[in-house]
Amino acid sequence: MYEHGIISMKFIEVAQAFQNLEQEPSRIGMTKILAQLFAQSSNSEIQIICYLSQGSLFPAYLDVQFQIAQKGMVAIIAELAGKPESVIQADFKEMGDIGLVVQKEWTQDTCDLTVHQVYETLIEIAHICGTGSTEKKSAHLRALLKQVDSLSAKFIVRIVAKTLRLGFSDMTVLDALSWMETGDKTLSKDLEAAYNVCADLGLVAHTMKDEGIKGITSMHIKVGIPIRPAAAERLTSAKAVIERLGHCVAQPKLDGFRVQVHVKKTETKTDVHFFSRNMLDMSDMFPDLKKIVSQLPVSSLICEGEAIVYDEETESFLPFQQTVKRKRKHDVDQMSVDMPLRLYLFDILYLDGKSLLDETHKTRRIILNDVVKHQNTDALQIVEEKPFSKAQDLEDYFLLNIQAGLEGLVVKREDATYQPGKRNFNWIKLKREAHGSLIDTVDVVILGYYGGRGKRAKFGIGAFLVGIYNPEKEQFQTVAKVGTGMSDDEWKDLKKRCEHIKLQHQPKNVSCVKDLYPDVWVSPELVCVVKSDEITLSPAHTAGKTEGHPGYALRFPRFVSYRSDKSAQDATSIQELKHLYAQQKIQS
């Protein structure tokens, strides 16, 4: 396909591969299709294809929107097909997929545009702004679609509409890069390690193509590209924590935005980035914190903390539902005055050109204190930390934090290094003490909903199916059917949210028994918090289900809130649910 890096791949080849991926049910089959596509691409093309396969133009942390609404897309396709908008709208209502609509209405079967030509045009469309931008974007997209075949048009439109959803995760892409090189997954761990410290799939792919595994094992932290955050396991008693860790340190668990802060200073400017838990760049939302962090005496820095709204009058933290109001793109300056944030740092990962990932927690804590010690503002602090060796002492500290209105504790091993992208018992969340029941919350993903009956018939929704993520199978597995905990207005709001992500068919990465099929499937994107009385074993649910073991289910689940700061893959994992179930039984 290419020689000495000459760019020659046609976009129609990518579209055909995407079509094959869409029709392939097995993960290993998708891995092979991707590997073949990667093998045929040049160094620059593979980077682009990685981004496009994720339905984006750039790394996932840069959430670029095309700003072309559904109505505008219908108008574009109507003009392209020479048909009334009402006909196209009817097609869309029937098919539920704007990509299938354009594929049906646009019958051209040739496309000479290269991957780069399509990509550069899409970037140009995304960057159009200002007066008349909507009309200009539409004109550019129409011109692009006229130059491609119907299959290519299908995937281009889906990328623009943010509805590509080919059904595989980042890990499948990494496996495919290994498969491209060796014909198996032997290099996957090295590729994952590189991705964990530099969360840019396209850059990892480009490095693999250009420099091979030697380049991958040499990849390092880059300020401005997020590090995949470490995650905590969960136990339900101070006794269980001490039995697991022995001597440890505990920090209050604040219910705010978990942020990864990047600072890079040069002679001419200071760049500050705030990345969310799911690695989206939220920098523009925090001008108040940006100003404070930029004054730290560093040349480069990556640290982690919780940004949370603090009420000066009551001297208390506001709940997450209030803090989340700061997550906005408009009236940001006024919100920073009305709802000022405090940033509580709890870890440091990089300082002045040096990675600190391999240093122990104890050492990193000393370094963090040294960086922040000269700051004299309440808006930037280091989270409190206390050492413990006895369960009763840890229990007392836990109850003190609960009484103060906090979620609980995060307990850490002092000798542990920082392990990006890993969830393990180096960190343990202690949120509630449970005696034979789960008096706690679980983060779940909404998978679909059921039509309403009785009073809820007018809402068109009466219950919804939720699941958790199984990273080993790259699959969402069902764990509960939720029908309580919402007001009438919240049911209406959920229906609207689901309308934007509803699907015609069951997603490939969702495991569900037929008896639980919802009336409407949705793309697994919405994360919410549910409270449950306990975790039970259930043959009806697929979470953790094997041939010799029933699945896990939540008994009497109630909706609590949404978690817009979490991606679907950041929801409670099957491993975490198993630990909660085991601990629940120990205490019963």
Task: Quick: pLDDT tens for 126-155.
Answer: 999 888 898 999 999 999 999 999 999 999
Contact assessment for residue 449 and residue 524, using Cβ atoms and an 8 Å cutoff:
no
Written as six digits, the tokens of 300 are 């480069």
Least confidently predicted of 117-126, 448-457, 546-555: 448-457
Handedness of CA 39, 43, 48, 51 (dihedral sign): positive
Q: Are 512 and 506 in contact (CB under 8 A)?
A: yes
Check residue 2 and give its pLDDT: 37
* Cα distances (angstroms) measured from residue 348 to each of 173, 345, 363, 418: 29, 8, 10, 9
pLDDT tens for each residue of 181-238: 999 999 999 999 999 999 999 999 999 999 999 999 999 999 999 999 999 998 888 9
- Res. 438: pLDDT tops 60: no
Q: What is the mean pLDDT of the chain?
A: 89
Mean pLDDT of 82-89: 91
Q: Which residues contact 366 (CB under 8 A, 6 or more apart)?
A: none
Instruction: Look at 94-108, 241-255, 571-585 and tell me which has the smallest mean pLDDT.
Output: 571-585
CATH number for 231-430 (one of 2.160.10.10, 2.40.30.10, 3.30.590.20, 3.30.470.30): it is 3.30.470.30
Check: CB of residue 515 under 8 Å from CB of residue 542. Answer: no
**pLDDT for 440 beyond 80:** no
What is d(CA 285, CA 290) in angstroms, rounded to the nearest whole number?
Answer: 9
Residue 410: is it exposed, middle or buried by C-beta count within 10 angstroms (0-12/13-18/19+)? buried
Query: In the chain, what is the greatest distance between 2 CA atoms, to the nearest angstrom?
Result: 75
CA distance 18 to 115: 13
The whole-angstrom distance between residue 393's C-alpha and the CA centroid of its chain comes to 36
> Of residues 562 and 311, which shows the higher confidence score?
562
Structural domain boundaries in the chain: 11-63+167-217, 70-161, 231-430, 440-587
**Residue 223, class by beta-carbon neighbours within 10 Å (0-12 exposed, 13-18 middle, 19+ buried)?**
middle
DSSP assignment of 504-566: SS--TTEE--GGG--SEEE-TT-EEEEEESEEEEESS--TT-BTTB-EEEEES-EEEEE-TTS
What is the average per-residue pLDDT within 273-281? 92
Express each pLDDT in 380-419 by its tens digit: 999 999 999 999 999 999 988 887 778 899 999 999 999 9
pLDDT for 26 beyond 70: yes
Residues near 488 by beta carbon (within 8 Å), at least 6 away in sequence: 459
Report which of residues 533 and 275 the model is more confident about: 275
Q: Tell me the pTM.
A: 0.86
pLDDT confidence tier of residue 366, bands split at 50, 70 and 90: very high
- Percentage of the residues of the chain whose pLDDT score is greater than 90: 64
Angle between helices 115-127 and 150-161 (to 10 degrees): 30
**Which two structure tokens, joined as six digits, stand for 554?**
């939540």
223 backbone dihedrals φ, ψ, rounded to 5°:
-60, 130
DSSP 149-199: -HHHHHHHHHHHHT----S--HHHHHHHHHHHHHSSSTTHHHHHHHHHHS-
Q: What's the confidence (pLDDT) of residue 3?
A: 39
**Backbone dihedral angles phi then psi of residue 311, each to the nearest 5 degrees:** -90, 110
pLDDT for 221: 97
Cα–Cα distance, 216 to 98 (Å, whole number):
38
Selected from 1.10.3260.10, 1.10.3210.10, 3.40.50.2300, 3.40.47.10, the CATH number assigned to the domain covering 70-161 reads 1.10.3260.10
Going by pLDDT thresholds of 50, 70 and 90, the confidence category of residue 326 is low
The domain 11-63+167-217 is placed in CATH, from the list 1.10.3260.10, 1.10.1040.10, 3.40.50.2300, 3.40.50.410, at 1.10.3260.10
pLDDT at residue 390, as a whole number: 96
pLDDT on residue 357: 98
Residue 374 has pLDDT above 90, yes or no: no
> Which residue's structure tokens are 């700003």?
67
pLDDT (0 to 100) of residue 286: 87
- Using CA atoms, how far apart are residues 96 and 504, in angstroms rounded to an integer? 6
Cβ-count burial 490-510 (b if 16+ within 10 Å, e if not):
ebbebbebbeebbbeeebbbb
Tell me the HSE value of 73 on the side-chain side, using a 13 A CA sphere.
24
| Nearest alpha carbon to residue 409 among 255, 304, 252 | 252
CA gap 260, 279 in Å, rounded: 8
Please tell me which residue in 253, 431, 481, 545 is annotated as part of the active site: 253
pLDDT of 585 over the 90 cut: no
Buried b (16+ CB within 10 A) or exposed e, 24-57: beebeebbbbbbebbebbbbbbbbbbbbbbbbbb
* CATH, domain range 440-587: 2.40.50.140
Span 458-463, average pLDDT = 89
| β pairing state of 551-555 and 527-532 | unpaired
3-state secondary structure of 583: helix
Q: First vs last Cα of the chain: how many Å apart?
A: 63
Q: How confident is the model at residue 437 (pLDDT cuts 50, 70, 90)?
A: very low
As given in the structure block, the two tokens for residue 63 are 């959430």
- What would the mean pLDDT of 253-270 be, rounded to a whole number? 93
Residue 555 pLDDT exceeds 50: yes
DSSP assignment letter at 448: E
Average pLDDT in the 336-357 region? 90
Which residue did the predictor score with more confidence, 568 or 588?
Answer: 568
282: enclosing H helix or E strand: none
Residue recorded with tokens 């802060």: 261
**What sign results for the dihedral spanned by CA atoms 501, 502, 508, 512?**
positive
Q: How confident is the model at residue 491 (pLDDT cuts 50, 70, 90)?
A: very high
Task: Quote the CA–CA distance of 559 and 483 in Å, as a whole number.
Answer: 8
Is the pLDDT at 255 greater than 90? The verdict is no
253 given a catalytic annotation:
yes
Query: Average pLDDT, stretch 338-343?
Result: 82
Q: What pLDDT is attached to residue 202?
A: 97
Mean pLDDT (whole number) for 294-299 = 94
Q: What is the mean pLDDT of residues 272-298?
A: 91
Examine the pLDDT at 329 and tell me if it is beyond 70.
no
Same fold flag, 231-430 and 440-587: no
The position carrying tokens 């697991």 is 244
